[in-house]
Amino acid sequence: MKLEFVFVGGDKTPWLESFVAEYVTKLSRHYTTQVTRLKPKGLSRDQADAKRKIETEQILAALKPTDWVVVFDERGRVLNSLQLASRLENWLNRGRSRLVFVVGGAFGFDERLRSRADDVISLSSFVLNHHVAEAVALEQIYRAVSINKNLPYHNED
């Protein structure tokens, strides 16, 4: 099973590059892990609908028909860490070769991606900056892996 993270975002900030590298290393101890970064189109803020459409097309083009796709969206299913770990275990047992996690760009994505997704999960009820969403997505998937593998990472009261 391969874990793939598809992120839309241009310039990476140094803190994000370091964070992504650290969590890809942690996840790679358990699963082949890859991050694919799609470059957003350089349209202005008043062209948000066009950006969403183009970036959704980029994301859809990066997906394979056999992928199990999980989209992170603030309107998605709200889970706690233990529930996410349980869902992750279920996704991993689907027999697919790739489990793909998607975070959209600054303006999100359109309904076509939500329709393609096998699951839509909320990282927060807040709208997050897409760089912050990437970091949260990686950390939460690692946390779910650590729960499932009984690693000393997650603390629960």
Q: What is the pLDDT of residue 108?
A: 85
Question: pLDDT per residue over 79-98, tens digit each?
Answer: 999 999 999 999 999 999 99
Evaluate if residue 123 carries a pLDDT over 70.
yes
Please report the domains of the chain, with CATH numbers, ordered by start residue: 2-148 (3.40.1280.10)
Geometric angle at alpha carbon 45, from 120 and 43, rounded to 5° = 90
Q: Helix, strand, coil: what percent of the chain each, to 5?
A: 45, 20, 35
Evaluate if residue 157 carries a pLDDT over 70.
no
